[in-house]
Amino acid sequence: MYKIFIRPLLFLLPPETAHHYTLTLLKVFLKIPLMRNLVRMIYSRNDAKLRRNVYGLEFPNPVGLAAGFDKNALYMDDLACFGFGFIEIGTVTPLPQPGNEKPRLFRLSKDHALINRMGFNNDGVQVISERLKKRKSKIIIGGNIGKNKNTPNENAADDYLKCFTALFDYVDYFVVNVSSPNTPGLRELQDKEPLLKILKTLQEKNNSQSKRKPILLKIAPDLTPRQLDDIIEIAALTKIDGLVATNTTISRENLVTEKRVVESIGAGGLSGSPLREKATGVIHYLSHKTLLPIIGAGGIMNARDGDEKIKAGASLLQVYTGFVYEGPALVKRLCQSFLQII
């Protein structure tokens, strides 16, 4: 139904408009009596065999919604109805910021892909933490944190610490985002020295709490093997809990969409089907060099893609672009396929 009727209508609208329109309507739709129960019944796959204990957290199933879909924690209780095992909000920055100029989200329909250069648009950590206080669902929530655009890289650790401190009581785990291509200079924080500083600062705060929270690092798919080895070394030195592999790519290789169309879009991170192979390769490389649990993301459009990530070494999965193109049934299909390979 989604791919035949709903998606064609949504794709008549600009991508960012369609996103906000869909989520607004969803919130209204789910206020209808008994509708939440009906949606859960249709889209959820409940089975004890799907449960996964990762990072010391009990996930009801291994399929999560990636950061960026619900940046401002406005729809987490609504999206929880669609069978996700966990939802990641953000990326959150200390101060609110509008992000980059529109248009900043583009579809490559022939490639089942998106290009975005959102630029960490969000309402700021104080507003978002207040929303998280009021959440009703018990779904596991991850907090994806970043730095403000105007914060110099030498002060980046302060921004991450502010977000970490403000969100600590309201999320179940943290993801440190230094890999978005859409904030100038952000990916430079993946270099050894600045990344060590950020993670050590967060871990010092984390270890001072009565009960610490898992800290994960989200990495780019465009890193070289040497850079991945540095990430593994940094993860060991700072004793973080896991990795998210991967963020979007700056590559434009092997696209079906006409070159002139892609060039007219310009800069931004590419997600969806063209990212699948590259992201899986990073997961495979990391899983053979570290025992850290990995959340696999990037190009998961169907059950086969999810199986591929699990077999490459991912413990959990995250979807975003696949959810846009395939609709909510994707979550249930991934869960059902997971039951067949365990």
Active site residue 273: no
3-state secondary structure the chain: CHHHHHHHHHCCCCHHHHHHHHHHHHHHHCCCCCHHHHHHHHHCCCCHHHCEEECCEEECCCEEECCCCCCCCCCHHHHHHHCCCEEEEEEECCCCECCCCCCCEEEEHHHCEEEECCCCCECCHHHHHHHHHCCCCCCEEEEEECCCCCCCHHHHHHHHHHHHHHHCCCCCEEEEECCCCCCCCHHHHHCHHHHHHHHHHHHHHHHCCCCCCCEEEEECCCCCHHHHHHHHHHHHHHCCCEEEECCCECCCCCCCCCHHHHHHHCCCEEEEHHHHHHHHHHHHHHHCCCCCCEEEECCCCCHHHHHHHHHHCCCEEEECHHHHHHCCHHHHHHHHHHHHHC
- Classify burial at 171, counting beta carbons within 10 Å of its beta carbon; exposed 0-12, middle 13-18, buried 19 or more: buried
Cα 8 from chain centroid (whole Å): 25
Rounded Cα distance, 310 and 296, in Å? 8
In the set 44, 180, 271, 273, the catalytic residue is: 180
Active site residues: 180
